[in-house]
Structure 1
Amino acid sequence: MPFVLGLAVVDGSLGAPALGVALAARTVGFLAVLPAAGVLADRHAPRVVVLVASAVAAGGSFALAAALGRSVVATMVAALLVGVGQGACRPAFQALVPATVAEPDRQAANAAITVAVRASVLLGPAVAGLGAAVAGSAWLVAATGVLWVVAAVAPARTTGRSARGVEPRPADAGRRADRPGFRAEFVEGLREARRHPWFLGGLGALATVIMTGYSVTAVALPLVSADATGSGVLLAAGATSYTTGALLGGLLLARWRPPSTGWVALGGLGTYAVAPLALALDPRLPVVVAAYVAVGIGIELFNVPWFTALQREVPPDRLSRVSSLDFLVSYGLAPLGLALVAPAVDVLGMRAVLLGCAVACLVGPALAALVPGSRHFAATTRTERGAARG
């Protein structure tokens, strides 16, 4: 949707201020709903929450298509609804994997998800650009609503065919008369997260990398591209190389089961340091392309085992709440990093900021690797694992 709205600015159907308002509203909706989304997805069947959340996002998309170029307020409200739907969908969608896939196959399932996402990111702009030339940006926004309808319906058609050996969700999970209040259930999710030191350490490392390495990609890469080439060549090459690397990483993890999974994952997360190092020391096109391919592979070396470990270690009736905390921290801190990078460049200079971000991307995962349970993203002993599941 952000790319499609960018095309709407290009064709004049949306003003730049309205674009900023729409993207900000979408982000606010996404983050604001996450705590509630985790509780709701643990209370009810994940497919039901995905259906309702996707329906909300679809309605917001159709409303956004109708509001383009007509009302900034209507555009803001519609984008907010899209963000709410997407935010409510994420924790429930994560819970669908263990609800439908047996544990030995979950890493492959998570790898398939990331391959689908990265392929969409790689091909989506080209498809959207062609669609904008043929149909116009408003119709493209409406098309995203159609895709949300598909997202709403598809899980309901597939989750009835659960894999054998899956830990079932309690049948009366959403109807117990003695269920605690909403706030108490959210706090219970926080307590569950605290039972897994590897999760807290990994989440801290992820937040550090997002605030620094991700911000470099979003803010510093365009600036370096303009200075080094006088054009957006480095920016386009970096973005494409990153997505290509992530696609390769997902394909790799569809079959490879690395030893010491957690340490390999944290090492992959630490490869984000390569991007700011390349931009600081040698921002030539081949170097930047190689750096961002490595970063893309590394981020999926982290993502796929991370999600698989959450689905294995966290009890099914608390998984969505822990996942919502994961998304809330990682996505919530991203705007802070984006806001700080540009002022830091003005004060300290581009190279100093890039080198500082590289150090942060290395130190964060390295410290997380020292946390108990981080080697395998699991409880360190059988007793601790049994306590966590109980």
Structure 2
Amino acid sequence: MPISPIPTTASEDLPGKQRPVLLDAAFLRLWTGATASGLATWALPFVLGFAVLDRTLTATDLGLLLAARTAGFLAAVPVAGVLADRHSRRGVVLWAGLAAGAAAPLIAAGLGRSVLLAASAAALAGAGQGACRPAFQALTAEVVDAGRRQQANAAMTLAVRVTTLTGPSLTALLAVFLDTRALLLGIGLLWLVAALVPGPGAHAGTRTEDAPCAEGPGRVSFLAEFADGVREARRHPWFIAGLAALTAVIATGYSATGVALPLVSRDEYGTEVVLAGAMTAYTAGALAAALLIARWRPRSQGWTALAGLAAYGFAPLSLMVLVHPVVVMAAYAVAGIGIELFNVPWFTATQREVAPDKLARVSSLDFLLSYGLAPVGLVLIAPAVDAFGTQAVLAVCALTCFTAPAVAALVPSARHFSHRSETPSGAEREAGGAA
């Protein structure tokens, strides 16, 4: 299925002359909805943690609810990918947001009364969260013209980082005046914003000729449609290589951050300042990188992105020996910079290179593998630390973070995140193609 460039204007070749994407009403609505969904997704485990503190929920029950949410997320992601390609991406966002919004008051009703109800509602919330991810990714490609997608993806990830940076203090402040159930209802309202505010894509309903028919006796089965998305992903070697590298880094580097960093902060430094400082530095680095990559167009964007992904290896590396806390924070700042130098070009290239009628399915495969396998790393790293020691496990994590992107970079099409042998230039680098 050859990819032909979408015609672009001269202004698309010069990002500096483009109208800022946040001034576009359609994208602003989409960005608002995605930001609300991100804030609601982040807030749920944090608010449930408050329920443990006020003894409304036990630690065991908290683990059960979070596990149910993760299960719902993983189950919904591939289903949403197929539905968002088969039907309206906007419709998937609507129903996913409504489902997650309905789950919040059900969780509130189950707290302290019925663990089964709360866990079922948490699974529903996770399903709504998972269904939103590929739909938002594909809807961005519909709402934003090709020349501004990198700027749009940077704006999306910038919102996530701002939420991460300001969310804890804001939630803690609200907790002074509101109880846990009221905070959960607030999460439900955020999901209503995510469901109702985004508008339809400019090209909603447009699919290529080989897209499966949504009606009639010849309708393709769900598994066949998802398999078709997998085949589309395999048609892009750079995507498969990059996804393998991303999955490896998240499963090891993120696990080191989630488990080893708190342990090292407590046992080696005797203070929580290192933990808080490292996470703040990571978010600050990611914010700076998102601002940079919104306008920077590296010539070898794939290699630059993979080098940024490899930079996450400095995070576990900084924990292997006792160094000044500033060194740990600096390493996490570099990791934050690197992860956004990867994320934004990665999303933009996927929107550019993948056949439009299969974009949601390929995006769902991305989220399913990269984030779906992260809990596996979190589960395994603590027993590994007990069996082999912290330094040995951190060394493996750092080595994996450095080597996996380097191996991915050896794939010829990885240099530009494109099957083209030459460097995509100007607007073509942003435009992508229609199958």
| TM-score, L = length of structure 2 | 0.84
Q: How far 1:337 moved relative to its partner?
A: 0.9
Contact in 2 for aligned 1:99/1:169 (Cα 8 Å): no
Whole-angstrom distance in 1 between the partners of 2:145 and 2:434: 17
Distance 1:207 1:171, change over 3 A: closer
Whole-angstrom distance in 2 between the partners of 1:16 and 1:348: 27
Whole-angstrom distance in 2 between the partners of 1:182 and 1:27: 22
Contact in 2 for aligned 1:15/1:69 (Cα 8 Å): no
| TM-score, L = length of structure 1 | 0.94
1:269 aligns with 2:309: yes
Whole-angstrom distance in 1 between the partners of 2:303 and 2:386: 36
Q: How far 1:176 moved relative to its partner?
A: 4.6
Contact in 2 for aligned 1:98/1:311 (Cα 8 Å): yes
For 2:124, the equivalent position in structure 1 comes to 81
Q: How far 1:114 moved relative to its partner?
A: 0.4
Whole-angstrom distance in 2 between the partners of 1:62 and 1:340: 33
Secondary structure class of the residue paired with 1:281:
coil
For 2:185, the equivalent position in structure 1 comes to 142
Whole-angstrom distance in 2 between the partners of 1:231 and 1:22: 29
1:295 aligns with 2:338: no
Whole-angstrom distance in 2 between the partners of 1:327 and 1:103: 22
For 2:102, the equivalent position in structure 1 comes to 59
For 1:318, the equivalent position in structure 2 comes to 358
Q: Deviations over 1:327-385 (max 9, x none)?
A: 11011211111112112112221111111111110110000001121001111348xx9
Distance 1:283 1:67, change over 3 A: farther
Aligned residue pair count: 381
Whole-angstrom distance in 2 between the partners of 1:142 and 1:208: 36
Contact in 2 for aligned 1:228/1:283 (Cα 8 Å): no
Counterpart pick for 1:153 among 189, 192, 196 = 196
For 1:368, the equivalent position in structure 2 comes to 408
What amino acid is aligned across from residue 259 of structure 1 in structure 2?
A: R
Contact in 1 for aligned 2:229/2:358 (Cα 8 Å): yes
What amino acid is aligned across from residue 409 of structure 2 in structure 1?
A: A
Whole-angstrom distance in 2 between the partners of 1:372 and 1:36: 32
Whole-angstrom distance in 1 between the partners of 2:259 and 2:178: 32
Q: How far 1:190 moved relative to its partner?
A: 0.7
For 1:91, the equivalent position in structure 2 comes to 134
For 1:356, the equivalent position in structure 2 comes to 396
1:324-363 maps to which residues of 2 (within 5 A)?
324-363=364-403
- List alignment gaps of at least 5 residues for structure 1: none
For 1:128, the equivalent position in structure 2 comes to 171
Moved more, 284-293 or 266-275: 284-293
Contact in 1 for aligned 2:151/2:294 (Cα 8 Å): yes
What amino acid is aligned across from residue 248 of structure 1 in structure 2?
A: A
Contact in 2 for aligned 1:372/1:380 (Cα 8 Å): no
Q: How far 1:69 moved relative to its partner?
A: 1.7
What amino acid is aligned across from residue 290 of structure 2 in structure 1?
A: G
Q: How far 1:239 moved relative to its partner?
A: 1.5
Q: How far 1:389 moved relative to its partner?
A: 4.9
For 2:232, the equivalent position in structure 1 comes to 192
For 2:52, the equivalent position in structure 1 comes to 9
Q: How far 1:283 moved relative to its partner?
A: 3.9
Whole-angstrom distance in 2 between the partners of 1:234 and 1:283: 11
Q: How far 1:289 moved relative to its partner?
A: 0.9
Among the aligned pairs, what percent are the same residue?
Answer: 56
Moved more, 107-116 or 168-177: 168-177
For 1:169, the equivalent position in structure 2 comes to 206
For 1:107, the equivalent position in structure 2 comes to 150
Secondary structure class of the residue paired with 1:373:
helix
Q: How far 1:281 moved relative to its partner?
A: 2.7
For 1:181, the equivalent position in structure 2 comes to 221
Whole-angstrom distance in 1 between the partners of 2:421 and 2:219: 31
Distance 1:323 1:255, change over 3 A: same
Q: How far 1:170 moved relative to its partner?
A: 3.1
Task: Extract structure 1 runs of 4+ deviating beyond 4 A.
Answer: 171-174
Q: How far 1:282 moved relative to its partner?
A: 3.8
Whole-angstrom distance in 1 between the partners of 2:204 and 2:85: 14
Distance 1:277 1:319, change over 3 A: same
Whole-angstrom distance in 2 between the partners of 1:371 and 1:167: 34
For 2:8, the equivalent position in structure 1 comes to none
Contact in 2 for aligned 1:242/1:293 (Cα 8 Å): yes
Whole-angstrom distance in 1 between the partners of 2:288 and 2:244: 26
Whole-angstrom distance in 1 between the partners of 2:421 and 2:311: 29
Q: Deviations over 1:76-113 (max 9, x none)?
A: 01100000001111100101111000111000000000
For 2:76, the equivalent position in structure 1 comes to 33
Q: How far 1:223 moved relative to its partner?
A: 0.7
Q: How far 1:175 moved relative to its partner?
A: 3.6
Secondary structure class of the residue paired with 1:108:
helix
1:229 aligns with 2:269: yes
Counterpart pick for 1:209 among 243, 246, 249 = 249
Contact in 2 for aligned 1:65/1:138 (Cα 8 Å): yes
